[in-house]
Structure 1
């Protein structure tokens, strides 16, 4: 049986989870429809999800459809949980993007569609809620063409929209307007079809058009638009037929090299770790060792798989193996994390498709005695979501988290209280800035020469790199000039040190080159005892590298950049007067302004740190009619006072204090650190 790994994506409240429930019911997996309002849905299994009525974690459920096993992955719709969506994208064969027939195309809809297009994930668009008051399929179809893609084609007509009796009629070969639209759209990507159409448009059989529609949809060139209601089931038959006809099934050879992606990690009842893996190639079997590694890891870890479950027809029964194309749950991989690769790495396994978190907050236990319990709980949450990026400040006894928004913070707080019995408070949320080198800078320290107290020679040069490339480490010394373990110590320490630049922010878009290296070989006394005072160790390189790197950074100089959002603001034209001074005060930079009758459209960029105030003030300034959409747009230089972030390391910017904490003990004592 073929397999289709299908993601269901949407802006929050578009009806994505309700659609999932309807599909499961129609496929015979459930005997009755689950309800988001009642907290009885199959995929929103967490108590917090049921109580809030939103999806927080991705969930997998399988059903059979026309000879195809569909692994349906329900994803969160709220932008604060976009990291969950990102992890799912890497395992999909196709997607259904849900749009509300009432609210239409919304901010998150556009973000999701741009990403699906960029990744060429074949996608069907489902316009849901045609039975709700205010539903307007024609308006939403125009929005889809204007804001999402012009390569969209309506697959059905809606009759009685906005009423409980709304019905959907699928188009066919006897609908000339539909076939003409298909021909116009499909001939843009097929020269042979275009030639046949030019010769005689009436000679193109509908079967050929339908076949081309399937081929071009699978290539991510065309986007069929279906209409219906998850609540009543109207239009669902046509959508379900489209899943197997228009979307590609999984490839990969079961007897090939093992390769898969872990897109979710959770804990079982006994605290055991369970990894959700999509297999792209090969077969994983129980009782066999399985290598796995994270992005950029130098060497894979390995552990024996102790149990496997494979998703099938509403359940996940235990199996001896999981093969290419399937999704399974693996037990026994104690060190595995979300985002890891099992077996052979995919070429783009460490790509990020959405913006990184742009906010940071300090989390504090209400009971000081819960500090250790909080650390353990947050470590488990970081296994599931690496992007929360725990930042430990041992000097102040604080832990910081990276966040996408306030709702995510509320969910983390509730999760810690309910699942770990740890009550916490959060301090003020701040924007996560970055630093970039302003120029080039170099520094070096030579072994056995003042002021270097370490038995190591390290020279580093920092150069700016193109925006968006992160940080890179390069060798400008021969690889054999010193032991590999010392080279690795320098490289690892460089990346660790770059997490806190001159102003305490992560240093991005730079290249660090190792320009000088040297060490003292292992020395022993005549009786064969290792003499540490005469021999270099990896610790020498780990302790010296931060001093040299920060000296090079100081010479290069860095500039602090703050995260900014691209905004689209629709408001009554007569409210532009009160809005303009507010936007200026919030350091928003309008790029375009357009007046359409009584409405005004503003587009521009605004710092992340200022968006909350704009959202708070907007209803009062626009009589409740203002509509704001925001999406991450990158970073721009900070205007005004440069924000400084407290350091959590031994502060290599201040040499004397740094050496007091890490100076090498060579008189028979251990290394500091």
Structure 2
């Protein structure tokens, strides 16, 4: 029995959950097809998903196609939940990218296809909703070729498109136009086929189908199927395409244990359940399983935890079988399993042997944030606990605790995500919350070079630690790099580690309160007091350096150096593509200028116009709101994160959540008082 881990991806409302239901019904897993509108689909199991009719969390369900067991993963389509899609992509053998025959290629479709191609995931395209009014064939196929990839071939025709009776007929060897198109497309990427094609030698259709499967499996070309998940038209051809054209899972069941955690949820008793895709080896119940991750960097430049590794005993295992999960003694290479017992596991962790080539983030980081306010305020403790549990399931929520104001912020992709968090807190935790105004997450980059050092126990330094640090600009996208110009053995490792860790923590808030990235921090001076005591006495902290001395002094030295170097604040920018009637371009341009958009030269074709450019992420929502009135409801806007650009004009400051090492007096007052309270004052 072969295995295939298959992802269903699409822009929101293209019909991927309905397609999942149809595939399960056709495979005999379910007797009745559920409806997104009725809230009774197999994969949308959350109450909120059923209420809103959208997929929020990825879900796994299995079915069989002949001798292939398919683990099908239904993913969210709304861009606010792109992080959920990101985690799934790393575990797929193949994908079906669903496109609506009515709306055609949309913004999220482009983002998904670019990422699938970047990861070289074999992908079939399914054009859904051929039974809907306004459905198109030729123009959608042309849009797929122009906007996604030219390496596509239609696998069938549609009769009666746009009507309930639409029927899909697969192409075969008796169709000369299809055979010719297929031959040309395959020959472009196969020298043997090209030579035979040029020589005019006849190519058996079976040879073309073999080449089609091979090139699809290598993500070189993408077959396009048409159909309707609602009526079932074209679905049999799609299933045949999945079986024939997408490659089965690979992996050595006898090799070293290696897998990836792509989802974490809580069981009925509050226990953690980890969804793991196994690439090699096998995990058995009662195995002691190592898990964790190395120190990588996300696109925001924040450095991960260096070498976090844990180990725990697996207490139970489930695998997916015929639409449900069943308890099993093991989960082996190629399979997806649910593991119990890994109490400290997190999304993105490697189990067993870590994959050295793993990518931290495939999509842009969240660019928005908002303060979550409990109602009543007395629920702050419960709120933080609940948000921490949500962050386990979605690490990019990225909680930001402000101990001074007793507030907590969450990172967001959009307003819909805010509504989902609010509803989840109410439904699952009984906590009512409101949100403050959504703000943009900026970052700071270093402008020049700055350095500072302080000698231990020498005024104005009250700590038994000597630290010198230099800050330099780094390449864009490099994150925070930490280097040494002192001998590694000049201090105990615990003290060295304390400085490095505190550098990362301190740079989460720069001169203007934003995270500092793309810089190089170098330790230039070091010194410490060895462990010592008075005569015939035990170890005395007042005479010896501790890690606390270095953790307390590092922010003062680093921020002095950073202030000398200077930083600029950068805001997230989105690239946009706006299709609108040509006669509305004039009124639209001043609005774009007011929103600080930077449009390029418009392309006018008859009565329509296409305008591309950049716009601050903070202004995208406002543009979306004004667009219908500006364009008589005919405007179509696509936006996606592009890069960070230096802020022009007033520089935004973010309120600090620490005791501000830029204000030495305030910082020392708090720090020394805290140390005294812990019985560590000198």
Deviations 1:571-628 (A, max 9, x none): 1111111111100010000023110101111000000111111111111111111111
1:455 shift after superposition: 1.3
Contact 1:533–1:666 under 8 Å retained in 2: no
Cα distance in 1, alignment partners of residues 655 and 3 from structure 2: 50
1:528 shift after superposition: 4.6
Q: Is 2:344 the counterpart of 1:335?
A: yes
1:664 shift after superposition: 8.4
Cα distance in 2, alignment partners of residues 63 and 334 from structure 1: 30
The residue that corresponds to 1:552 in the other structure is 561
The residue that corresponds to 2:213 in the other structure is 214
| C-alpha spacing 1:112/1:665, structure 2 compared with 1 (3 Å) | closer
The residue that corresponds to 1:124 in the other structure is 124
1:169 shift after superposition: 0.9
From 653, 659, 662, the equivalent of 1:650 is 659
1:348 shift after superposition: 3.2
SS in 1 for 2:324: coil
| C-alpha spacing 1:668/1:384, structure 2 compared with 1 (3 Å) | closer
The residue that corresponds to 1:606 in the other structure is 615
The residue that corresponds to 2:255 in the other structure is 256
Cα distance in 2, alignment partners of residues 116 and 93 from structure 1: 11
1:349 shift after superposition: 2.8
Cα distance in 2, alignment partners of residues 453 and 234 from structure 1: 77
Cα distance in 2, alignment partners of residues 128 and 598 from structure 1: 29
The residue that corresponds to 1:244 in the other structure is 243
- TM-score computed with the length of structure 2 as normaliser: 0.97
Cα distance in 2, alignment partners of residues 451 and 293 from structure 1: 41
Contact 1:281–1:323 under 8 Å retained in 2: yes
Cα distance in 2, alignment partners of residues 352 and 581 from structure 1: 36
Deviations 1:467-503 (A, max 9, x none): 1222122222222221111121111111111110110
| C-alpha spacing 1:667/1:501, structure 2 compared with 1 (3 Å) | closer
Note the 1:12-91 alignment, pairs <5 A: 12-91=12-91
Cα distance in 2, alignment partners of residues 665 and 158 from structure 1: 73
The residue that corresponds to 2:303 in the other structure is none
Cα distance in 1, alignment partners of residues 480 and 164 from structure 2: 56
SS in 2 for 1:466: coil
Note the 1:438-587 alignment, pairs <5 A: 438-587=447-596
Cα distance in 1, alignment partners of residues 467 and 548 from structure 2: 13
Contact 1:662–1:671 under 8 Å retained in 2: no
Contact 1:540–1:664 under 8 Å retained in 2: no
The residue that corresponds to 1:158 in the other structure is 158
Cα distance in 2, alignment partners of residues 160 and 510 from structure 1: 60
Q: Is 2:397 the counterpart of 1:412?
A: no
SS in 2 for 1:601: strand
Deviations 1:421-457 (A, max 9, x none): 0000000000100111012222222223322211112
1:649 shift after superposition: 1.2
Q: Is 2:16 the counterpart of 1:7?
A: no
Cα distance in 2, alignment partners of residues 223 and 426 from structure 1: 43
Deviations 1:140-179 (A, max 9, x none): 0000001000001111111110111111111112211111
Cα distance in 2, alignment partners of residues 333 and 350 from structure 1: 23
Q: Number of matched residues?
A: 672
Q: Is 2:332 the counterpart of 1:323?
A: yes
Cα distance in 2, alignment partners of residues 125 and 540 from structure 1: 59
SS in 1 for 2:14: coil
- TM-score computed with the length of structure 1 as normaliser: 0.98
Cα distance in 2, alignment partners of residues 504 and 44 from structure 1: 40
Cα distance in 1, alignment partners of residues 448 and 210 from structure 2: 56
Over 4 Å off, 4+ runs? 664-669
Structure 2 segments unaligned to the other structure (5+ residues): 296-305
The residue that corresponds to 1:388 in the other structure is 397
SS in 1 for 2:248: coil
Cα distance in 1, alignment partners of residues 178 and 356 from structure 2: 40
| C-alpha spacing 1:476/1:520, structure 2 compared with 1 (3 Å) | same
Contact 1:63–1:70 under 8 Å retained in 2: yes
1:407 shift after superposition: 0.3
Q: Is 2:276 the counterpart of 1:277?
A: yes
Cα distance in 2, alignment partners of residues 625 and 348 from structure 1: 45
Cα distance in 2, alignment partners of residues 532 and 665 from structure 1: 15
Contact 2:168–2:234 under 8 Å retained in 1: yes
Cα distance in 2, alignment partners of residues 435 and 473 from structure 1: 17
SS in 2 for 1:595: strand
Structure 1 segments unaligned to the other structure (5+ residues): none
Q: Is 2:361 the counterpart of 1:352?
A: yes
Contact 2:451–2:471 under 8 Å retained in 1: yes
Cα distance in 2, alignment partners of residues 422 and 331 from structure 1: 28
Contact 1:58–1:76 under 8 Å retained in 2: yes
Cα distance in 1, alignment partners of residues 308 and 61 from structure 2: 33
1:65 shift after superposition: 1.2
The residue that corresponds to 2:635 in the other structure is 626
Note the 1:181-200 alignment, pairs <5 A: 181-200=181-200
Deviations 1:221-274 (A, max 9, x none): 101101111011111111111112111111121122211111111111111111
Cα distance in 1, alignment partners of residues 4 and 680 from structure 2: 55
Q: Is 2:305 the counterpart of 1:287?
A: no
| C-alpha spacing 1:534/1:242, structure 2 compared with 1 (3 Å) | same
SS in 1 for 2:600: strand
Contact 2:541–2:680 under 8 Å retained in 1: no
1:555 shift after superposition: 1.2
Cα distance in 2, alignment partners of residues 591 and 170 from structure 1: 42
The residue that corresponds to 1:112 in the other structure is 112
Cα distance in 1, alignment partners of residues 183 and 284 from structure 2: 48
1:287 shift after superposition: 1.2
Cα distance in 1, alignment partners of residues 535 and 265 from structure 2: 55
